[in-house]
């Protein structure tokens, strides 16, 4: 077999290109975790076009019972928005109480949907830090891997029960789409 010099260099260039090309085409910076500010608000950023009414909202606690609340989304207000912080890998909140509150990712009881509730509950109801750990931040905002890799798809902001947008976690991509009252969002930390 006889190779010409241009063919030989083409082979070398191809080999080098394959050697330095990452096997995973995703952006590696999106997967790199970083440390957020010590205290922060969580602010929505809508993914894609449309649903501008779900953009630039802040996670807030909507009281539903003693020590219990739903995660809702409101315009910025230092008196109504919830200040968050990471405690190891637990997303917790300062609700001006002697007892810590934590973000609770409700497990799905209905397999016909692809998302479920996010709660902000008093952690006295849960052993240790709370029932939900595995939170971290990357370039796409707050992430969760508490149930294993690939279970958490992202966040949804939906017009739901409380008269203000409510936060849900998405655990399955729905090929037919999400309800028109919902938007896929990222949650980014904004220093207090």
The C-alpha atoms of residue 132 and residue 151 are separated, in whole angstroms, by 14
Establish if 46 belongs to a structural domain. Answer: yes
Residue with tokens 């890998």: 89
Establish if 29 belongs to a structural domain. Answer: no
- Domain interval for residue 147: 34-191
For residue 51, give the CATH number of its domain. Answer: 2.80.10.50
Establish if 94 belongs to a structural domain. Answer: yes
Q: Does residue 184 carry a pLDDT above 90?
A: yes
Tally the domains of the chain.
Answer: 1
Structure tokens at 167: 């936060």
Q: What's the whole-number mean pLDDT along residues 102-115?
A: 80
pTM of the model as a whole: 0.80
Establish if 174 belongs to a structural domain. Answer: yes
| Cα 189–Cα 162–Cα 62 angle in degrees, nearest 5 | 50
Q: What is the pLDDT of residue 2?
A: 46
Of residues 52 and 126, the one with the higher pLDDT is 52
């Amino acid at each position: 077999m006889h190779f010409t010099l241009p063919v030989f260099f083409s082979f070398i260039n191809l080999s080098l290109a394959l050697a330095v090309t990452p096997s995973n085409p995703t952006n590696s910076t999106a997967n790199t975790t970083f440390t957020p500010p010590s205290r922060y608000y969580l602010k929505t950023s809508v993914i894609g076009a449309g649903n501008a009414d779900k953009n630039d909202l802040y996670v807030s606690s909507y009281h539903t019972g003693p020590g219990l609340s739903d995660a809702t989304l409101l315009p910025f207000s230092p008196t109504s928005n919830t200040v968050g912080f990471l405690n190891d890998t637990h997303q917790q909140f300062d609700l001006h109480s002697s007892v810590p509150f934590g973000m609770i990712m409700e497990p799905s009881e209905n397999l016909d949907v692809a998302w479920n509730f996010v709660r902000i509950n008093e952690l006295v109801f849960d052993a240790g830090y709370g029932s939900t750990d595995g939170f971290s931040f990357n370039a796409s905002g707050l992430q969760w891997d508490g149930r294993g890799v690939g279970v958490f798809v992202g966040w949804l902001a939906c017009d739901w029960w409380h008269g203000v947008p409510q936060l849900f976690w998405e655990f399955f991509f729905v090929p037919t789409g999400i309800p028109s009252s919902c938007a896929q969002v990222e949650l980014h930390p904004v220093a207090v």
